[in-house]
Amino acid sequence: MNIENIHPLWASRVINMATPQEFFNISPDIWRGLLYDRKMLIFKNMEFTKEEFYKFCCSFGKPWDRFDYGYSKEKVDRFTINGKEVALTPMSNLNTPRLGQLMMPWHADIPNKRDTPFPHRALWITKNPGPDSGLTTFLNIEDGLQRLTSELESAIPDIKIVQQSWYYQNRELKNFDFIKKHPITGKDSLRLNFFNVPEANLLDAWIKKVIVNGVEMDPKPVLGPYLKHLSLQEDLIYTHRWDTFDIIVYDNWPLVHKRTALEFDPTLERHFYRANIDHIDGAEWEAHKAETTQL
């Protein structure tokens, strides 16, 4: 097995595995540590079964169960492994009408969940009729915190972020500092995400408003310059062209990502299996490892 670093500080591609099952010869502690160190891992030619993909996800944290997915309204595929019920979410342009063939702007997944926000996410593509579209770009906003202009950096303490539910507009309203701290690594990053643009009638994004020096404002003029500045720095960006049976597992705390539109016959299906994976540490991680050896 060989691991190729895409950028010196983040993003790695795992290549030259003899078979996908070779993954399971490596300790989950190593995989988990590598993901926190590199923020995103890319695996090629992972022609798994659905059960093997679920076990793969267990090496990075605690995959969500069907009750967790009730929060995010994602379609759930429930199945059993050695008598234990587990869950993944099948995602395609045909079963996600809210997104369909559309492009997706910069965002980080599940920012509002009270106890376990910004989980890891694993995406395994199993059907791909248009590999030259639907490109996914990741932006490293954690390392980017050190790349801001003095003007952008000095404004950070004055900015508060007002988040809302993406699933139910004007619910789960909560104010946050612009800086967020990773629960495992302790590293800081900006609370950038998909934001409302009222002039475009876009009102259901995760960031509803910002508050600057106590004054409520629309997000675009405040947050847009941060995303623009960071996204122009090539070593903070990685764009992925999907091949069938690719897996990307990434940490939502230090990254945001976006997707280009799907440019193929909309009756064809681009299909992923997807998992949200909670961050766990210490005794909880040790108990999780012991439990997953029985799968």
Q: What is the pLDDT of residues 247-281, one digit of tens each?
A: 999 999 999 999 999 999 999 999 999 999 999 99
Domains and CATH numbers, the chain: 2-141+233-292 (3.60.130.10), 147-224 (no CATH)
Which residues contact residue 191 at a Cβ distance below 8 angstroms, ignoring those fewer than 6 apart? 111, 161, 176, 177, 178, 179, 180
Residue 98 has a pLDDT of: 80
As a whole number, mean pLDDT of residues 147-161 equals: 98
Token reading at 59: 């090496």
Confidence of residue 1 (pLDDT cuts 50, 70, 90): confident
Confidence of residue 15 (pLDDT cuts 50, 70, 90): confident
Residue 214 pLDDT exceeds 80: yes
Residue 275 has a pLDDT of: 98
Confidence of residue 99 (pLDDT cuts 50, 70, 90): confident
Average model confidence (pLDDT) across the chain = 96
Tally of residues, the chain: 295
pTM: 0.97
As a whole number, mean pLDDT of residues 222-235 equals: 98
Cα–Cα nearest to 12, from 247, 281, 276: 247
Residue 149 pLDDT exceeds 90: yes
Percent above pLDDT 70 for the chain: 100
Residue 97 pLDDT exceeds 80: no
Residue 73 has a pLDDT of: 85
pLDDT tens, position by position, 106-123: 999 999 998 899 999 999
Residue 78 pLDDT exceeds 80: yes
d(CA 286, CA 273): 26
Strand segments (E) across the chain: 2-5, 12-15, 40-43, 62-63, 77-81, 84-92, 104-107, 120-127, 136-140, 159-163, 174-177, 179-181, 188-190, 207-212, 215-217, 237-240, 247-251, 255-259, 271-278
Confidence of residue 16 (pLDDT cuts 50, 70, 90): confident
Percent above pLDDT 90 for the chain: 91
Residue 134 pLDDT exceeds 90: yes
Residue 101 has a pLDDT of: 92
Residue 173 pLDDT exceeds 90: yes
Residue 288 has a pLDDT of: 97
Residue 72 has a pLDDT of: 87
